[in-house]
Amino acid sequence: MTFKKLSHPLVTGTVILTLTGLISRFIGFFYRIFLSNVFGAEGMGIYQLISPVLALSFSLTVSGIQTAISKYVASETATHDYKSSFRTLWAGFLLAMALSVACTLYIYLGADYIARVFLLEERTAPLLRIIALSIPMATVHSCINGYFYGIRKTAIPAFSQLAEQVCRVGSVYLIYFVCQKHGLTPTISFAVVGLVIGESASMIVSVVAILARAHQVFPVRRDIFGFRPSDFDHNSQSRTGIVGIYRRICGQLLQLAVPLSANRLVLNLLQSVEAIYIPNRLMAYGLNNADALSVYGVLTGMSLPLILFPSAITNSISVLLLPIVSEADAAGDHAAVRRAILTSIRYCLLLGFGCTAMFLLCGRLAGRLLFHSEPAGSFILTLSFICPFMYIASTLNSILNGLGKTIQTFLFSVISLLLRLLFVFITIPVYGIKGYLWGILASQMLQTLLCTASALHISHKARRR
């Protein structure tokens, strides 16, 4: 029985994603160290400023559509209706690609305006033009990954993620060594070029995989868009019917994708305001532009990635918990739900306190050895206290989502982000970056308390049943 559970596609897929996530995070962590050593704190600050644009573009173009594709493909594949599954994929792809092309053009043509007015840093304009080219590629592999998640073949998304990370990091290393060999000075733009190369690699892997899947599912001559070639005859009625089918599928996808994208867009907007205004508020504290960007780069490009590194474990637990709790709730197994909640809190506390102790003991040394930065070590010490709260919140969020409390978790995230924004605008101009570190701790504590209260309430109800 245990072997059967372990060989279940859901568990196998989760293990594959978990291992790939850990490898990717490991590569990404040392890549951050490399970038910080090559481009310095100010360069990392400029690089980090383009992240909000990427996050917002993903929310607008493909985030909700990817989930919608996955949901509908899963239900259609269960009935072996492969033709409908491919129609769903291509309908979602057309919607997402139209949005991504529009987003790419807007960012590329309006890079100077976005850099000056939105990011408040004109030096990000050339980076935005480069990064805009990656949006259609990200859209392609996100839609295809949504299809493979739907049919529970997680090896393809996992491999495309790994290919993206390896090619991105490898290309930047190669560019750097070529520059060194020819006596050229590398700029942070090379890191953004590497990101585009990584997205290209991921897209190629995904396209090859979906073509192979099409040949596997449709061994007879059949169009991979879900129609036989004979369906595309000169009969106007046939063409009208095809258009009608795609219109209906697009309507279904949008019905699910729009609210998902709206929720993610709100969260990303709040996170973008936070990221953009930290350097601005540091200047209000009295720092010049270069120093403000350097402090921001040390915090977001060096200290936070190290603090977040152990969360790969809790993220993996979260991936496992969501389907398990959802299945237990659907089966009416309230005892299993209660056990999941209490066990998660117990082990996340242990992991969190262990990581806090480790960062308190080794934080300063890590800052000096890894990043050659004393401020990085100081930030690591302060941020170490968020570990228990962060790990508990992430796992309980997953449990609550598995129980269908998605609106609740969304509201908890919004409330914690709004609190953090208050610290950005009120305490940073008075206390400097320490004010923001206090804000991170306060907001994480608040979100954890809200999630814990909600989860324990559900646990208490489950116990009474």
**433-446: pLDDT as tens digits:** 999 999 999 999 99
Whether residues 239 and 371 fall in one domain: no
Collapse the DSSP code of 342 into the 3-class scheme (helix H, G, I; strand E, B; otherwise coil) and give the result.
Answer: helix
Whether residues 268 and 330 fall in one domain: no
375-382: long-range contacts, CB 8 A cutoff, minimum separation 24: 375/295, 375/298, 376/298, 376/302, 376/303, 379/298, 379/299, 379/302, 379/303, 379/304, 379/433, 379/437, 380/303, 380/306, 380/307, 382/434, 382/437, 382/441
Whether residues 278 and 356 fall in one domain: no
Backbone angles phi, psi at 223, to 5 degrees: -75, 135
Residue 28 lies inside a defined structural domain of this protein: yes
Stretches where the chain sits below pLDDT 70 are: 1-15, 17-18, 76-78, 219-242, 316-324, 326-327, 330, 462-465
Whether residues 382 and 273 fall in one domain: no
- Write down the pLDDT at residue 3: 39
Identity of the residue numbered 425? F
Identity of the residue numbered 227? F
Residue 248 lies inside a defined structural domain of this protein: yes
Instruction: Give which of 68, 72, 75, 125 is closest to 259, Cα–Cα.
Output: 68
Instruction: Give which of 81, 58, 233, 219 is closest to 151, Cα–Cα.
Output: 81
Whether residues 262 and 136 fall in one domain: yes
> Residue 290 CB: number of other CB atoms within 10 A?
11
The structure tokens listed for 276 are 């953009």
Identity of the residue numbered 237? Q
Collapse the DSSP code of 284 into the 3-class scheme (helix H, G, I; strand E, B; otherwise coil) and give the result.
Answer: helix
Q: How far apart (Å, rounded) are the C-alpha atoms in residues 362 and 7?
A: 40
- Write down the pLDDT at residue 4: 45
Buried b (16+ CB within 10 A) or exposed e, 259-276: ebbebbbebbebbbbbbb
**pLDDT tens digit sequence for 283-306:** 999 999 889 999 998 898 888 888
CA distances 263 to 50, 231, 338, Å, are 21, 39, 28
> How far apart, in Å, do the first and last CA atoms of the chain sit?
28
Residue 102 lies inside a defined structural domain of this protein: yes
Whether residues 152 and 59 fall in one domain: yes
Whether residues 460 and 352 fall in one domain: yes
Residue 87 lies inside a defined structural domain of this protein: yes
Whether residues 260 and 377 fall in one domain: no
Whether residues 263 and 346 fall in one domain: no
Whether residues 223 and 90 fall in one domain: yes
Q: Which residue has the tokens 């209490």?
A: 342
CB 383 within 8 A of CB 303: yes
Q: How far apart (Å, rounded) are the C-alpha atoms in residues 70 and 77?
A: 10
Residue 298 lies inside a defined structural domain of this protein: no
Helix (H) / strand (E) containing 95: helix 82-109
The structure tokens listed for 220 are 């007879």
> Residue 216 CB: number of other CB atoms within 10 A?
9
CA distances 19 to 32, 161, 433, 441, Å, are 20, 11, 35, 29
Residue 168 lies inside a defined structural domain of this protein: yes
Half-sphere exposure of 298 (CA within 13 A, CB side): 21
Residue 137: give the domain boundaries.
1-285
The structure tokens listed for 27 are 């590569």
CB 317 within 8 A of CB 344: yes
> Residue 198 CB: number of other CB atoms within 10 A?
24
Whether residues 332 and 211 fall in one domain: no
**pLDDT tens digit sequence for 315-366:** 766 655 665 676 677 677 778 778 878 888 888 888 889 999 999 999 999 8
**Number of structural domains the chain divides into:** 2
Backbone angles phi, psi at 227, to 5 degrees: -135, 150
What's the pTM? 0.78
Residue 402 lies inside a defined structural domain of this protein: yes
